[in-house]
């Protein structure tokens, strides 16, 4: 780990131009974190291959359709018609369905069944589905999977509402409103996952952001057929959340370790 730390520090200083004794220690720590993250990219995928930690890329493999949806005790059982994602599938595998990581509990050659618990139902649009609705599908990645999108966990943050759709040349611009709680993780030219599809943010306001779809993408993902007022699943970039948490606890630790400047000597010098 010491070797990695040294490499990380050298990389961050070389890439950012920040000196070893930076005036901005929080910035330096963030840069070190990002450099170490890049350095460990190969190790990350080795971990993915060895443990049951499912990840996705946000590249939709196919559009499936809902065969049935049965409500249970604060749960939903979904039966989804599919094809490509069922190749070499096994019980317990994960398939992102509209961006939600679902575990395959039963399958046949042209469908799979998955259970949705209350946490999933409350955060996602799966509860709004009905028989015949199309859904985006992506099987979890392996070491041989092309990473054309970005690392997606399949853990949806919240729902978003489409507030406008504008034609701009060959493209359609979708403006989506989400809770301000999650807008802090949305950045211009950053990545966001909408119904499981990895897309680029082209603009944003205090509570909305916009993405642009070319005709090919409009055909390949469910967002292309949605209308104003429709609800979509949103997963923001994981890295921003880790940085925020890292900085928060770093500041908290400094606050807890900060010693009072009032000492016995100070009191004596000031006549107490």
- Where does residue 252 rank: exposed (0-12), middle (13-18), buried (19+ CB within 10 A)? exposed
Structure tokens at 46: 């080795």
Q: How many CB atoms lie within 10 A of CB 92?
A: 9
Spatial distance between the Cα atoms of 84 and 102, rounded to a whole number of angstroms: 16
10-24, 28-42, 44-58, 257-271, range with greatest mean pLDDT: 257-271
Rounded to two decimals, the pTM is: 0.74
The confidence band for 259, taking pLDDT boundaries of 50, 70 and 90, is: low
Model confidence at 173: pLDDT above 60: yes
Q: For residue 222, give the nearest of 85, 143, 126 by alpha carbon.
A: 126
pLDDT digits (tens, 9 = 90+) for 99-150: 999 999 999 999 999 999 999 999 999 999 999 999 999 999 876 667 777 8
pLDDT digits (tens, 9 = 90+) for 11-40: 444 444 444 444 555 555 655 555 544 544
């Amino acid at each position: 780990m010491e070797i990695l730390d040294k490499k990380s520090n050298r990389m961050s200083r070389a890439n950012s131009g920040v000196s070893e004794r930076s005036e901005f220690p929080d910035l330096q720590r963030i840069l070190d974190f990002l450099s170490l993250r890049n350095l460990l990219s190969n190790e990350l995928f080795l971990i993915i291959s060895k443990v049951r930690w499912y990840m996705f890329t946000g590249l939709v493999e196919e559009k499936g359709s809902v065969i049935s949806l049965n409500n249970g005790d604060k749960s939903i059982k979904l039966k989804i018609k599919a094809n490509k994602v069922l190749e070499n599938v096994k019980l317990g595998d994960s398939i992102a369905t509209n961006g939600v990581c679902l575990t395959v509990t039963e399958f046949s050659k042209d469908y799979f069944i998955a259970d949705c618990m209350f946490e999933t139902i409350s955060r996602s649009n799966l509860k709004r589905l009905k028989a015949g609705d199309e859904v985006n599908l992506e099987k979890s990645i392996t070491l041989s999977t092309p990473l054309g999108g970005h690392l997606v966990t399949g853990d949806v943050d919240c729902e978003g509402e489409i507030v406008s759709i504008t034609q701009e040349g060959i493209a359609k611009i979708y403006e989506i409103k989400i809770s301000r709680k999650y807008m802090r993780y949305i950045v211009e030219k950053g990545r966001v996952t909408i119904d499981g599809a990895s897309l680029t943010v082209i603009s944003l306001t205090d509570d909305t952001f916009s993405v642009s779809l070319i005709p090919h993408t409009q055909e390949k993902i469910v967002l292309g057929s949605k209308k104003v007022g429709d609800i979509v699943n949103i997963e923001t970039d994981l890295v921003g959340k880790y940085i925020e948490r890292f900085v928060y606890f770093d500041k908290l630790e400094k606050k807890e370790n900060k010693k009072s400047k009032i000492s016995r000597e100070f009191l004596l010098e000031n006549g107490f």
